[in-house]
Amino acid sequence: MERIRLKLSQNALWTHLVLCIFTQIISGSTDFSQRARNLMETNPLIDGHNDLPLQLRRLYKNRLSEIDLRTINTTRTNLHKLKIGHVGAQFWSAYVLCSAQDKDAVRLALEQIDVIKRMCKDYEELELVTSSQGIESTKKIACLIGLEGGHIIDSSLGALRMFYDLGARYMSLTHTCNTPWAETSGGGQHKFYQGRKSLTDFGAEVVREMNRIGMIIDLSHTSSNTSRAVLAISKAPVIFSHSAVFALCGIERNVPDDILLGIKKNKGIVMVNFHKDFIACRKPANISTLADHFDYIKNLTGPEYIGIGGDYDGVNGFPEGLEDVSKYPLLIQELLRRGWQDQEIKGILRENFLRVFRQVEKVREDLQNLKASEVEIPEDELDYSCRLDLRKYERQSRNASGYHESSVSAFPLITYILSCILITMNIH
Ligand SMILES: *[C@@H]1O[C@H](CO)[C@@H](O)[C@H](O)[C@H]1NC(C)=O
Ligand SMILES: *[C@@H]1O[C@H](CO)[C@@H](O)[C@H](O)[C@H]1NC(C)=O
Ligand SMILES: *[C@@H]1O[C@H](CO)[C@@H](O)[C@H](O)[C@H]1NC(C)=O
Ligand SMILES: *[C@@H]1O[C@H](CO)[C@@H](O)[C@H](O)[C@H]1NC(C)=O
Ligand SMILES: [Zn+2]
């Protein structure tokens, strides 16, 4: 009897122990998941880059009336998923294909800004904001506008200023093409302005003007040498709105160590891109692969210079487990599991970006006595084939005959139209 009772209680002990360990494991992981959600509830994410507006053009010709953004499932982003993902502010990318450079890039960018503004007005869950204060005070998902590609301003500081007035708060200096004034990381993908290296003198003027008006400088997509040149002159902190770490995947699109350290010195921020091909160089990728990029930058610079720029709807291929914008909490959970402190997580969710934005606004205030720059890009640095060449009118007006259309002979007009057609045919 005695022995049997002892055996029974031993069994009970074992069962208890196993159950105990089991619940420990379960509650351990739900702890991280719960902690992630709690943190994000009080510190909703500011994401640096989302290309939903590109998909709206590509799939629906910007016809918002045909779709319901709350539930749309042809994209990785919808309002329902943003809520689940605890996104509190989103930079929507006003992106224009490089092929439109020197053609209708300005109009296309205006139309993307239009669709972002309409979307943020039509849905009560969204609100367009244009300042750090706006992000902090809204109870809704804050909409911010980022211009993707310096070709959008058509080498015009006047156009840059007007895009700011429309609400754009960052501009990526290049996309995958060189502009007349800045070199891309995209190599020879496009034929524009081959031979441009780094930042030209006019490019430096663009940077100074962006500092003056309070437009955040985005270095994602620029070449490393362009980034270095900008870091050397910008008075305000700069961002990478959607870029990963070069040391972990050595492509020019990613950020090398010296520039990560440059960002620390500049007090800027690298908002980490989730794209599989950027974080894992075409090898399989999961949440852990992505978390390595956060750990890497944290190890090198400390956690204050890191943010999140998922690039959803801009690329195809996301790590297993992070397929759409509802999944951000899983990344936060993984970082908590790796020992990140709450304060550090709050930083990458929003405080680090807000610090940058506030400082950009402060630099604008400090520079408010400077007048708008009237610098123009030198004529020989532009490709005039698809522009109205105002130079001859200027010469005429100096001869006191004023601007007049009638003086355009048919011949240059025909060459202009022909060359535009030829360029269009060549593009693809
Ligand atoms: C996507 O949405 C459409 C209608 O809005 C619905 O018919 C379809 O079942 C949905 N697909 C998935 C995979 O949820
Ligand atoms: C970047 O600039 C350095 C110094 O001017 C130059 O030596 C190097 O070739 C440049 N890198 C590229 C990829 O052009
Ligand atoms: C991610 O994949 C690696 C192997 O590629 C694996 O060791 C690891 O457990 C995976 N992590 C997660 C969180 O799925
Ligand atoms: C970061 O540093 C920790 C501690 O030294 C190390 O274990 C880890 O492998 C590093 N992570 C990366 C991605 O470099
Ligand atoms: Zn991009």
- Ligand nearest to the Cα of 310, by number: 5
- Average pLDDT for consecutive 10-residue bins of the chain (428 residues)? 46 56 53 96 98 98 98 98 98 97 97 98 98 98 98 98 98 98 93 94 98 98 98 98 98 98 98 98 96 98 98 96 98 98 98 98 98 96 86 71 50 56 51
Bridge partner list, 245: 255
Task: Report the predicted TM-score, pTM, of the whole model to 2 decimal places.
Answer: 0.88
Catalytic site residue 51? Answer: yes
Catalytic site residue 304? Answer: no
Of 86, 102, 154, 175, catalytic = 175
Whole-number Å distance, alpha carbon 188 to ligand 2 midpoint, is 16
Catalytic site residue 242? Answer: yes
- Ligand nearest to the Cα of 241, by number: 5
Ligand 3: residues whose CB is within 6 Å? 284, 286-288
Residue among 211, 338, 339 at smallest CA distance from 268: 211
- Give residue 73's pLDDT: 97
> Is the four-CA dihedral 75, 80, 83, 84 of positive or negative sign?
negative
Give the span between the Cα atoms of 213 and 162, in whole angstroms.
11
What topology is assigned to 27-380 in CATH? TIM Barrel (3.20.20)
Whole-number Å distance, alpha carbon 138 to ligand 1 midpoint, is 31
CA nearest ligand 4 atom 1, residue: 299
- Give residue 428's pLDDT: 40
CB atoms within 10 A of CB 259: 22
- Give residue 2's pLDDT: 39
Q: Are 93 and 53 in contact (CB under 8 A)?
A: yes
Catalytic site residue 175? Answer: yes
- Ligand nearest to the Cα of 245, by number: 4
Catalytic site residue 68? Answer: no
Q: CA angle, corner 168, sides to 230 and 267, nearest 5?
A: 40
* Pocket of ligand 4 contains residue 102 by CB under 6 Å: no
CA nearest ligand 4 atom 12, residue: 296
Catalytic site residue 275? Answer: no
Give the span between the Cα atoms of 254 and 242, in whole angstroms.
9
Of 86, 151, 190, 221, catalytic = 221
Enumerate the domain spans of the chain: 27-380, 394-427
Whole-number Å distance, alpha carbon 72 to ligand 1 midpoint, is 8
- Give residue 427's pLDDT: 41
- Give residue 231's pLDDT: 98
Of 51, 154, 205, 218, catalytic = 51
Whole-number Å distance, alpha carbon 253 to ligand 5 midpoint, is 10
Give the span between the Cα atoms of 47 and 156, in whole angstroms.
28
Of 49, 86, 151, 275, catalytic = 49
- Ligand nearest to the Cα of 339, by number: 4
Which atom of ligand 3 approaches the CA of 289 most closely? 1
Q: Are 209 and 240 in contact (CB under 8 A)?
A: no
CA nearest ligand 2 atom 5, residue: 225
| DSSP for 166-212, written as a single string | TTEEEEES-SSS--SSB-BSSGGGS-TTTT--SB-HHHHHHHHHHHH
Which atom of ligand 3 approaches the CA of 283 most closely? 5
Label the pairing between strands 306-308 and 269-272.
Answer: parallel
- Give residue 388's pLDDT: 86
Catalytic site residue 190? Answer: no
CA nearest ligand 3 atom 13, residue: 288
- Give residue 391's pLDDT: 82
- Give residue 77's pLDDT: 98
